[in-house]
């Protein structure tokens, strides 16, 4: 009895030590690996279609890697220089604007006080300038860190390739080490798939599509610095509660105030149509019962952004969603019947 307990303690301690050592080894490339896994999950349906045609997993995975690389690399290669120029020009343009006069002219009742108008304009100008400085610095860092990013990208591609090719092996392995009994394990896998689909397909990908659709309207109606605003719309599209409307509605108001009625009405109609499309897609892709609540998705996205960077927009909501899945399983099942075995009663050979 005592010997068995010591063995259990030794095994658990060894697993903890090796787990921490492994974490330290992969910590520098952890984010790149997670990107690879996320991309594998996104492209897995397409991989299965290609696999039915080519029949060989290696070939199908290679084709998917090439497609994913082109989708990611080509836009970065084409639009990064233009994005840098637009941000820089926007920064110079804002420095020349007389915000006090602009505010007093368009909102005379609200900014009747010169002092209030000046303070508000100063705060607004500071916020915009710091935001644009952040973007410029981010782009500059991106260019300077190209060698390091190339290594991270290679890790992402390798992880992506093996994750998508060996997904069936990974699934069986995770099932084999699961501590849950068969009934709970089945529920956990199904609920995990539901919330993952909800977050990635119904939350992230549709948010990106919303931002792209908004960006198309910016180019159609001749909005200045359309590429920068499209990028902002995509980021806001991923964030619940906000969406691309955070960019579109101020632009519509600006067009009305400046007298450009045609563009204002056109963008309003476009916004309403794209909103209907977005609602239809969310309903079609993700059923209501599997949606993560908007508030929790928002909290997860913001918290994840601070902890993991841009990847946190995806990982944050997933972490909360998986926690809720496990809590729900515990709530609906007695603790003692959740696990597949009782270590205190099972003899270790």
| Residue 21: inside a domain | no
Rounded Cα gap, residues 158 and 33, in angstroms? 9
- Give pLDDT, residue 280: 75
| Residue 223: inside a domain | yes
- 235 and 297 fall within a common domain: yes
- 38 and 95 fall within a common domain: yes
The mean predicted confidence, pLDDT, of the chain is: 76
In 3-state terms the chain splits into helix, strand, coil percentages (rounded to 5) of 85, 0, 15
In this prediction, residue 31 has a pLDDT band, given cuts at 50, 70 and 90, of: confident
Q: Which whole number is the average pLDDT over 149-166?
A: 86
In this prediction, residue 337 has a pLDDT band, given cuts at 50, 70 and 90, of: low
- 106 and 194 fall within a common domain: no
297 or 170: whose pLDDT is higher?
A: 170
Q: Which whole number is the average pLDDT over 247-269?
A: 83
| Residue 212: inside a domain | yes
Closest CA to 135 of 85, 95, 94: 85
This model's pTM is above 0.85: no
Rounded Cα gap, residues 120 and 100, in angstroms? 8
Per cent of the chain over pLDDT 90 is 0
- Give pLDDT, residue 344: 43
The number of C-alpha atoms within 13 Å of 29 and in the hemisphere containing its C-beta is 18
Q: What is the dihedral sign for C-alpha 135, 137, 138, 139? A: positive
- Give pLDDT, residue 343: 43
Residue 82 scores a pLDDT above 80: no
Rounded Cα gap, residues 22 and 27, in angstroms? 8
Angle at which helix 245-257 crosses helix 206-220, to 10 degrees, equals 20
Per cent of the chain over pLDDT 70 is 76
| Residue 346: inside a domain | no
Whether the CB-CB separation of 239 and 322 falls below 8 Å is answered with: no
- Give pLDDT, residue 264: 85
> Helix or strand or coil: residue 180?
strand
What range defines the domain where residue 120 resides? 32-177
Residue 243 scores a pLDDT above 80: no
- 160 and 220 fall within a common domain: no
Rounded Cα gap, residues 92 and 133, in angstroms? 11
Query: Burial of 92 by CB count in 10 Å (0-12 exposed, 13-18 middle, 19+ buried)?
Result: exposed
- 173 and 186 fall within a common domain: no
Rounded Cα gap, residues 274 and 272, in angstroms? 6
Q: Residues 208-219: pLDDT tens digits?
A: 888 888 888 888
Rounded Cα gap, residues 148 and 151, in angstroms? 5
- Give pLDDT, residue 346: 41
Residue 308 scores a pLDDT above 60: yes
- Give pLDDT, residue 347: 41
Where a domain ends, among 177, 212, 227? 177
| Residue 20: inside a domain | no
- 104 and 188 fall within a common domain: no
* Count of structural domains within the chain: 2
In this prediction, residue 100 has a pLDDT band, given cuts at 50, 70 and 90, of: low
Q: What is the dihedral sign for C-alpha 11, 14, 18, 19? A: positive
What torsion, rounded to 10 degrees, do the Cα atoms 37, 43, 47, 48 define? 100
- Give pLDDT, residue 283: 65
- 248 and 323 fall within a common domain: yes
Q: Which residues contact 292 (CB under 8 A, 6 or more apart)?
A: 195, 198, 199, 203, 300, 317, 320, 321, 324
């Amino acid at each position: 009895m005592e010997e068995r307990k010591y063995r259990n303690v030794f095994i658990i301690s060894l697993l903890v030590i090796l787990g921490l050592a492994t974490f330290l080894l992969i910590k520098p490339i952890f984010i790149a690996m997670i990107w690879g896994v996320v991309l594998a999950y996104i492209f897995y349906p397409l991989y299965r279609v290609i696999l039915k045609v080519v029949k060989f997993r290696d070939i199908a995975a290679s084709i998917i890697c090439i497609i994913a690389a082109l989708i990611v690399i080509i836009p970065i290669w084409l639009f990064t220089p233009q994005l840098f120029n637009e941000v820089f020009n926007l920064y110079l343009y804002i420095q020349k604007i007389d915000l006090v006069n602009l505010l007093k002219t368009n909102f005379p009742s609200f900014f009747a006080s010169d002092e209030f108008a000046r303070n508000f304009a100063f705060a607004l100008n500071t916020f915009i300038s710091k935001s644009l400085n952040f973007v410029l610095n981010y782009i500059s860092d991106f260019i300077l860190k190209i060698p390091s990013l190339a290594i991270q990208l290679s890790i992402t591609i390798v992880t992506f390739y093996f994750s998508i090719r060996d997904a069936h092996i990974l699934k069986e392995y995770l099932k084999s080490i699961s501590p849950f009994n068969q009934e709970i394990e089945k529920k956990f896998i199904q609920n995990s798939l539901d919330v993952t689909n909800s977050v990635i397909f119904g939350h992230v990908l549709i948010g990106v599509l919303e931002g792209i659709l908004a960006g198309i309207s910016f180019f159609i109606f001749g909005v200045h610095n359309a590429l920068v605003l499209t990028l902002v719309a995509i980021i806001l599209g991923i964030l619940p509660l906000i969406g691309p409307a955070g960019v579109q509605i101020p632009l519509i108001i600006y067009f009305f105030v400046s007298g450009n009625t045609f563009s204002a009405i056109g963008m309003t109609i476009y916004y309403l149509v794209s909103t209907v499309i977005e609602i239809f897609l969310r309903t079609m892709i993700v059923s209501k019962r599997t949606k993560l609540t908007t508030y929790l998705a928002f909290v997860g996205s913001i918290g994840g952004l601070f902890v993991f960077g841009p990847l946190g927009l995806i990982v944050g909501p997933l972490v909360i969603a998986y926690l809720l899945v496990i809590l729900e399983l515990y709530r609906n099942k007695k603790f003692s019947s959740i696990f597949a075995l009782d270590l205190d009663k099972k003899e270790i050979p």
